[in-house]
Each structure stands twice: as C-alpha cells, then as structure tokens.
Structure 1
Amino acid sequence: MATIFVYGTLLEGCRNYDRLLKGRVRSIQTAYVKGTLYSLKGVDFPALVDGDSFIRGEQMEVADDVLPLLDELEGYRGENDPMNMYHKVWMDIYDEDRIRQIKLPVYVYNIDRPDQRDALDTIITEQDYRQWLKHRFG
C-alpha cells in the first residue's frame, strides 16, 4: 500500500476516482496542502501551483499497482522532466485543523512550460475542487 494526496478528479466520487481508484483504496481522510488551485482552459481538471492557501483534498491509502496509472494520468514522465504536465513534488500535508502531519508526493502543475502557463484560467476561490464543480455545474 502507498499513501497519496489528491485534490482534483481523483477525489472520491469524481470521474478518475471511479475509473482508477475505486476498489483499490484502503482508507480516505480529508487533508490539505498549501498552494493555489486554478481551473484550466478547455478541460475539466484543476491545476495546483505554488501558493499559501489551504487546498482541500484527500489523503488515501491505495494499492501500489495504481501508482504507475496515476503517473500516466498526470502526464508525469519522470523527475524534473521539462515535458511533464504535472511534476511530483514532496509537500507538507495538513489535517483539518491545519496542523502539518506528513510529507507526500503531490502532482503540481508544470507552469514552466509556456503552453501550460497559458492554459491557466481562473483561481478556484473555493480552494476545493468538489465545491467548485458544484458551483459551476450545479
């Protein structure tokens, strides 16, 4: 088993959770990471970049065999690869009281690629992808 942090379409009940994680998760708990969450132009998944807001997500214990599937989904080709869609960065994970608990790898949007920087749309002010979906799509 491996522990991961997710904040977008891999959240429980969202489309990529159902496709890749359902039935392969031992535990889920609400957790937070510091950053800024953006919507992206023309797609229905978010981008986490550097920032100081607490972004709501989930810490999950998952089967090891899903890790390569997540790398593929996130366009992660390897450490510091300039063509990564998302880099995997070790970040502090916080509990619901905003107390630092653990460091986990988190997929952070690669804004060093000009095409990706241009795809940033608006800040998700809810700091919670699920809440943003509710407000946007009802």
Structure 2
Amino acid sequence: MTVGELPFFVYGTLLPGQRNHDRFLLGRTAREEPALLPGALLHEGPGYPYAIEGHGVVHGALVVPAPGAYGELLGQLDQLEQYVGPGHPRNLYERVARDVRVETATTTAWVYLAAAAVTRSLRAGGTRIPGGNWLTRRAPPAPRTP
C-alpha cells in the first residue's frame, strides 16, 4: 500500500463466512484480523447491517488489501456499498476514515457508515443489533399466527 491507501473495516456481509466475503475479498487481501470500531452502533438492514455514529462498539475485521489490489478493491467496495462520493444524495453509505482497534493498537481505516438519510431513518425507528456484532445477531422472531 502507498501513502493514502487505508485498510478497510468491514462489519457485515464482507466478513469471513458471509455472502460477499469470497466474492470481493478472497485473494485480494494481505491480512484480515478482528477489529473494533468504537463510537458506533449497528442496525439491521434489508439483509445487511448499517453502522452509524453512536455510543457503542461495532465488531468486525480490519482488511488490508494485497499489494497491487487496492485500487480495484476500493472501486468494487464503493460500488457494493453504493458510495458515489462524499455527501452525494444517492449514497447508501458514506466512506469515512475512522480509528479502529486491533488487539492493543489503533489504526485508521475506511469505514462505510450509513449515509445521512439512512441514519435519520435508523435513529427514528431502526432495529439496533445488541452488542454491535453482525455474526451473533439473533434472527427476528417468526410472526405469530392466530
């Protein structure tokens, strides 16, 4: 990686064993390790989670791109996360630089946080994932039939 190329913090479908991991990350990373994103909350989305700013911690992984894979990976993740550009009205997520914790160290990484309109909706009535861990969330209860 060159100067300005940050690793990525992933917390949902890009985690190992989840549906987008192998499609986007397999063979394109030099290292993946457990990490924590402080100052954030995790919410359920339509099959994927949203992280928003808040008083909590989100569990995920720090992903360091393999040499030469950064540009391609950045473009693919921006497309997956529907990130057009900073503050763009069509963004589903905003890509922002945040400090994340890995073991006893802190490093800066790209994180995809819910865009402003999504964040407002989640704060008004979203379903928070207790503990901030997508992998240990509980499935919603089945609807009761009369």
Same fold (TM over 0.5): yes
Question: Where does structure 1 lack aligned partners over 5 or more consecutive residues?
Answer: none
State TM-score, norm by structure 2. 0.79
- Look up the equivalent residue of 2:57 and give its one-letter code: F
Specify which structure has the higher proportion of strand.
Answer: 1
Conserved 8 A contact 1:25-1:61: yes
Name the structure 2 match of 1:4.
8
**Among 45, 57, 60, which residue is 1:57 paired with?**
60
Alignment of 1:31-110 (within 5 A): 31-34=35-38, 35-40=40-45, 43-62=46-65, 63-64=69-70, 65-97=72-104, 101-110=106-115
Conserved 8 A contact 1:7-1:58: yes
Q: Secondary structure at the match of 1:123?
A: coil
CA separation in 2, counterparts of 1:88 and 1:126? 23
Name the structure 1 match of 2:132.
127
Q: Secondary structure at the match of 1:57?
A: strand
State TM-score, norm by structure 1. 0.84
Runs of 4+ in 1 over 6 A off after TM superposition: none
CA separation in 1, counterparts of 2:97 and 2:125? 22
CA separation in 2, counterparts of 1:131 and 1:96? 20
**Among 21, 44, 50, which residue is 1:17 paired with?**
21
Aligned length: 130
